[in-house]
């Protein structure tokens, strides 16, 4: 890896040779649209008017584009080739929300490392990932790309993904540059509608939405991407307080900032700019170094400089940052950098990793009478559902480069595990997840009657989550609920497996079945992993990274809420159906909750069952008083009181009881995965730093205030094993 000083010197020498037009060219990113290399594209490459391309191309075209840039332009500056390598390249891993359900950041880092190697071999240098937007509204389609609702959990996965993509040496042949996105507040879009406005007070922004980005910056992310949304009337692509104030001046970020797709030009539609020319001026002034896809920079920066509206120094600084990343990637050191190869079939190592990630991502939500795991001898078995044998939908959103021929479907995984001796009946029941055609119901129900167990694979297709795929109604789409009800009526035990990109409101349907496994979109090896879990080769160990609402009317619902002056649990809950006619207002028990649904979610944050059972006890803390700068040692004994070996995720939560601004009722501040044999006990130790118990005060200063705290340790956010301590002066 080249030394920083050496890179700075080389960047300075190259920058000194560049014309203004060539400099602006480095700030331009365009998407390859297919159809070969046009004469216009060749001309722009030869003139040095393109600095980056995205959306990938066939390797042979990719190589020729890069060759033209390197060999036929005046200065021979290579392009940085970008691609959405979000949760895999050829090998598809669980969607990011599913990876967060593993509560295993080192595993996520390994997945990113494998994806980087596959992408780099195909000529990709830069991924637009990880996405670390805090997501507390499951209606928002891009919750699938997130790591969930919690800033601490998301921060750990954000830094893990950055390390995984970039490795120890960004110039290594299997490393690609990461891009922390979307800066900032994109996950708070009103109503869960993608691209919509986000109204976030500055303290909430700093305490909840920004910590994952700070973690990514501290982990060394090479780039950051702006968001589509506005905050307090200012689109983030034109928000100098965010980009220059917080990101660069406060945090010291030294990489470059890229806009999201056409978000520079979209500031005109926002009503923040009169035209593209003003948009280019405001975006650059705010701190956007490279414009993705739209052409405001290419069309207007040159004239803006000549008119004196844009200082040339802003151009130089932006180009300097872009070139530093290119040198850091070693693009000038590895000729021919355009010698990319076609996407190869996944390696055995990567497939094994994908299976491990899928195994740990699945969350067991219900297991009535311990029906799971099923016995291999429990035959015949009916496998039913529109997602039981669909090799595409299991891969999930942002699957740009995965192949269905690599995919193991749930049906294929079950057949391979059980072998020819088992009798397996299969019926889709519905052609696809949104279908309302009941024509196949009769056969599915008849197969259920003939079987000793039913495994139903339902949920939502990949297209129903991801960018621009927000949903107002979160029930199982199509006629799935009706089909499940008819199958359950056949009297055969039913195991429901949900494949989805978000939490769904499955309360009604879960009551009709015996067990529920939530598998997200688990990727290439999802079918093999699910077969192992269903038949007890492995025990489920996933935990929810996001709260599941009972109904859409509860949204937003998240565990780290404020207590309010009238907490929801302060009086007995009176439900709508129990209220007498013309009841006195005082009899309702005034509190922050709904009359018709209460206040509890369907499943809480951090929740997840196992085939084993775990008991927590012996909670001890090293002191009941600590000072700022000190750590509190927290130890707890976890015992597997079940009869199978399994993994548990022990979680540490904290509450600041009284502060200069109100604090949440609980906040995650630590977690550990531990594998326990049946009847085994282990002592788990957390090192709780006083510094992570701070917040931003009325002056937006990060402070750690003295006062009383509660802490809890347990298997989910409802943990009730409690200790108390103080932070003192």
What's the predicted TM-score (pTM) here?
0.97
Nearest to 92 by CA among 111, 68, 73, 72: 111
Provide the pLDDT confidence category of residue 579 given band limits of 50, 70 and 90: confident
The domain locations on the chain are 4-328, 348-534, 614-728
Which letter does DSSP use for residue 686 in this model?
Answer: E
Residues 118, 402: Cα–Cα separation, whole Å: 11
Q: How many Cα atoms are found within 13 Å in the side-chain-facing hemisphere of 153?
A: 34
pLDDT in tens, 126-141: 999 999 999 999 999 9
Predicted confidence band of residue 574 (pLDDT cuts 50, 70, 90): confident
Helical (H) or strand (E) element with 192: none
- In sequence order, the 6+-apart residues with CB closer than 8 A to the CB of 71 are none
What is the three-state SS of 16-57? HHCCHHHHHHHCEEEECCCCCCCHHHHHHHHCCCCCEEECCC
* pLDDT tens for each residue of 83-108: 999 999 999 999 999 999 999 999 99
Residues 170-184, mean pLDDT to the nearest whole number? 97
Q: Dump pLDDT digits (tens) for 592-614.
A: 988 889 899 999 999 999 999 99
Q: Are 29 and 51 in contact (CB under 8 A)?
A: yes
3-state SS, residue 218: helix
How many Cβ atoms from other residues are within 10 Å of residue 174's Cβ? 14
Q: What is the CATH number of domain 614-728?
A: 2.60.40.10
Query: Rounded CA gap, 86 and 128, in Å?
Result: 7
Q: In the prediction, which pLDDT does 506 show?
A: 98
Contact status, residue 659 vs residue 705, Cβ threshold 8 Å = yes
* pLDDT range class, residue 294, cuts 50, 70, 90: very high
Least Cα distance to 544 among 97, 87, 93, 135 occurs for 97
CB–CB of 267/238 below 8 Å? yes
Cβ atoms 521, 378 nearer than 8 A: no
Same fold, 4-328 and 614-728: no
Half-sphere exposure of 368 (CA within 13 A, CB side): 11
CA pair distance 625, 698, nearest whole angstrom: 26
**Does pLDDT of 1 surpass 60?**
no
Q: Which of 260, 389, 532, 716 is catalytic?
A: 260
The residues, any chain, with a CB within 8 Å of residue 468's CB and separated by 6 or more, are: 141, 194, 195
Between strands 625-627 and 721-728, the pairing is: parallel
40 is catalytic: no
Q: CA-to-CA distance for 601 and 597, rounded, in angstroms? A: 9
In this structure, are residues 576 and 596 in contact, taking their beta carbons and an 8 Å threshold? yes
Answer whether 598's CB lies under 8 Å from 577's CB.
Answer: no
pLDDT over threshold 70, residue 235: yes
Residue 334 pLDDT: 66
pLDDT of residue 369: 96
Sign for the CA dihedral angle at 424, 429, 430, 433 comes to negative
Q: What is the 3-state secondary structure (H, E, C) of 465-533?
A: CCCCCCCCCCCCCCCHHHHHHHHHCCCCCEEEEEECCCCCCCHHHHCCCCEEEECCCCCCCHHHHHHHH
Q: Output the CA torsion 548→210→400→417 (10° steps).
A: -40
Cis peptide before 262 (omega within 30 of 0): no
- What is the DSSP secondary structure assignment for residue 78, as one 8-state letter? P
Round to whole Å and give the CA distance between 65 and 42: 8
Q: Which residue has the tokens 């299969």?
A: 426
Separation CA 616–CA 327 (nearest Å):
51
Q: If you average pLDDT over residues 352-359, what whole number do you get?
A: 98
CA–centroid distance for 634 within its chain: 29
Tell me the CATH architecture of domain 348-534.
3-Layer(aba) Sandwich (3.40)
Judge whether 524 and 402 are in contact, CB under 8 Å: yes
d(CA 429, CA 383): 10
Residue with tokens 């995720």: 649
Give the architecture-level CATH label for domain 4-328. Answer: Alpha-Beta Barrel (3.20)
pLDDT greater than 60 at residue 249: yes
State the Cα–Cα distance between residues 666 and 649, nearest whole angstrom: 17
């Amino acid at each position: 890896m080249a030394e920083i000083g050496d890179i700075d010197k080389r960047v300075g020498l190259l920058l000194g040779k560049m014309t203004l037009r060539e400099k602006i060219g480095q700030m331009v990113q365009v998407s390859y649209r297919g159809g070969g290399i046009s004469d216009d594209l060749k001309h722009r490459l030869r003139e040095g008017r393109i600095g980056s391309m995205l959306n990938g191309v066939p390797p042979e075209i990719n190589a020729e584009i890069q060759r033209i840039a390197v060999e036929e332009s005046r200065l021979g500056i290579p392009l940085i080739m970008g691609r959405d390598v979000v949760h895999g390249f050829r090998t598809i891993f669980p969607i990011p929300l599913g990876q967060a359900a593993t509560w295993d950041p080192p595993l996520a880092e390994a997945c990113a490392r494998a994806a980087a190697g596959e992408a780099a071999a195909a000529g990709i240098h830069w991924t637009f990932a990880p996405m670390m937007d805090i997501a507390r509204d499951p209606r928002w389609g891009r919750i699938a790309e997130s790591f969930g609702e919690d800033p601490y959990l998301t921060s750990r996965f954000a830094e893990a993904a950055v390390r995984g993509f970039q490795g120890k040496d960004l110039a290594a042949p299997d490393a690609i540059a990461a891009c922390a996105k979307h800066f900032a507040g994109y996950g708070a879009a009103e109503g869960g509608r993608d691209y919509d406005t986000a109204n976030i007070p500055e303290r909430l922004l700093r305490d909840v939405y920004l910590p994952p980005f700070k973690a990514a910056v501290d982990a060394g992310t090479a780039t950051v991407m702006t968001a589509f949304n506005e905050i307090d009337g200012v689109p983030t692509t034109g928000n100098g307080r965010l980009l220059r104030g917080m990101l660069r001046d406060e945090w010291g970020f030294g990489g470059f900032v890229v806009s999201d797709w056409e978000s520079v030009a979209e500031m005109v539609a926002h009503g923040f700019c009169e035209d593209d020319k003003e948009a280019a001026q405001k975006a650059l002034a705010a701190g956007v170094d490279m414009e993705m896809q739209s052409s405001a920079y290419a069309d207007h920066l040159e004239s803006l400089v000549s008119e004196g509206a844009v200082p040339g120094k802003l151009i130089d600084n932006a180009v300097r940052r872009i070139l530093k990343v290119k040198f850091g990637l070693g693009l000038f050191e590895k000729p021919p950098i355009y010698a990319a190869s076609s996407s190869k079939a996944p390696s055995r190592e990567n497939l094994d990793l994908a299976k491990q990630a899928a195994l740990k991502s699945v969350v067991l939500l219900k297991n009535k009478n311990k029906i799971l795991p099923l016995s291999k001898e429990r035959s015949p078995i009916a496998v039913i559902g529109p997602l039981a044998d669909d090799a595409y939908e299991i891969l999930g959103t942002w699957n740009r480069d995965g192949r269905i021929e690599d995919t193991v479907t749930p049906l294929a995984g079950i057949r391979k595990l059980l072998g020819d001796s088992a009798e397996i009946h299969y019926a889709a029941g519905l052609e696809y997840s949104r279908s309302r055609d009941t024509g196949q119901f009769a056969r599915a129900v008849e197969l259920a009657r003939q079987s000793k167990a039913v495994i139903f694979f339902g949920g939502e297709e990949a297209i129903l989550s991801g960018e621009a795929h927000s949903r107002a109604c979160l029930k199982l789409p199509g006629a799935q609920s009706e089909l499940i009800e008819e199958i359950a009526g056949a009297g055969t035990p039913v195991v429901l497996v949900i494949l989805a990109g978000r939490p769904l409101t499955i309360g009604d349907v879960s009551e009709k079945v015996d067990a529920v496994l939530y598998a997200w979109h688990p990727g290439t090896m999802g079918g093999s992993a699910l077969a192992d879990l269903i038949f007890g080769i492995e025990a489920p160990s996933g935990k929810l990274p996001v709260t599941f609402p009972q109904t859409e009317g509860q949204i937003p619902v998240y565990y780290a809420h404020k207590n309010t002056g009238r907490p929801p649990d302060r009086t007995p809950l009176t439900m709508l159906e129990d209220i007498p006619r013309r009841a006195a207002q005082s009899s309702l028990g005034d509190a922050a909750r709904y009359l018709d649904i209460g206040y509890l979610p369907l499943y809480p944050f951090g929740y997840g069952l196992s085939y084993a059972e775990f008991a927590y006890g012996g909670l001890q803390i090293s002191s009941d008083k600590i000072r700022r700068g000190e750590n509190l040692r927290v130890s707890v004994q976890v015992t597997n009181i079940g009869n199978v070996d399994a993994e548990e995720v022990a979680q540490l939560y904290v509450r600041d009881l009284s502060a200069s601004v109100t604090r949440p009722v609980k906040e995650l501040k630590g977690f550990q995965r531990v594998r326990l044999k049946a009847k085994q006990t282990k002592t788990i130790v957390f090192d709780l730093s006083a510094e992570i118990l701070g917040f931003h005060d009325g002056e937006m200063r990060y402070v750690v205030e003295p006062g009383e705290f509660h802490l809890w340790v347990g298997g989910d956010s409802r943990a009730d094993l409690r200790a108390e301590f103080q932070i003192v002066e």
